[in-house]
Amino acid sequence: GGPAWLELLNKDSLSTLSEAVVEPSLLEVADKPGESFQFQRVGFFTVDLDSTKAKPVFNRVVPLKQQALPVPDPPKSQDPPKAEKAAAAKEDKKEAGEGGKKEKKEKKEKAPAPAAAPAEAQPEWTKLDIRVGELTKTWPHPDSEKLWCEEIAVGEEAPRQVCSGLRAHYGAEEFCAGRKVVVVCNLKPAK
C-alpha cells in the first residue's frame, strides 16, 4: 500500500485559539453540536461535540479567505545578547593590549535545549479538513482513462484544481458543474 493517510495531512492544518472572544449570545448554543455560524471576516464555524456553555468550542469548517498561519518567534537563546558579547570582547582586547596576554576563559558547556511539550491528544480523524464544495468545471484527464480533472469551489478566493479517480463511477452528465462534492482540503499536493 501507499503512505498512511496521516502522513498525507498538512501538519499546519490545526490551529487552536484558546483566548478568543465571541459574541455572548453564542453561549446559548454552545452546547448544541452541529449548529453553524459565520464569524465576521473569518469563516464558517460549527459547534464541536465537546463544546459546553462553560467551555465553548467552535471548529472552522470553511475560511472566508485563505490566510497564512502566524510564524512563532524562535526560542530565545541562553547566551547573552550580542551587544553584551561584543562589549566583553572589546574589554578583553583592551586588557590584553595593556598588560600583555590575557588568560583564556574556560568555555562553558551549553545546556541542552528543553524538550518540547507533548502535543495534546487529539483523535486522528479530527485532523481532517473536510468541506463540501461545488464543481465549477470538469474535464477528462488527457493522459488517463480513469481520472477526472475538476475545479472545485470550497470557499476560498479561487477554486481548487483536483484530479480524482472517479471516471469509472461517474459519467460526464453526472460529474458536471454545479454538483456538490466532499473534499479533504488538507492533503499534501500529489504529483
pLDDT in tens, 66-80: 545 455 555 555 555
Contacts 24+ apart (CB under 8 A), 107-110: 110/78, 110/79
pTM across the whole model: 0.40
Cross-strand bridge partners of residue 182: 132
**By C-alpha distance, which of 57, 10, 54, 67 is closest to 37?**
57
Mean pLDDT value across residues 112-140: 73
Q: Report the distance separating Cα 94 and Cα 123, nearest Å.
A: 61
Among 56-60, 85-89, 104-108, 147-151, the range scoring the smallest mean pLDDT is: 104-108
pLDDT grade for 105, boundaries at 50, 70 and 90? low
The C-alpha atoms of residue 178 and residue 134 are separated, in whole angstroms, by 6
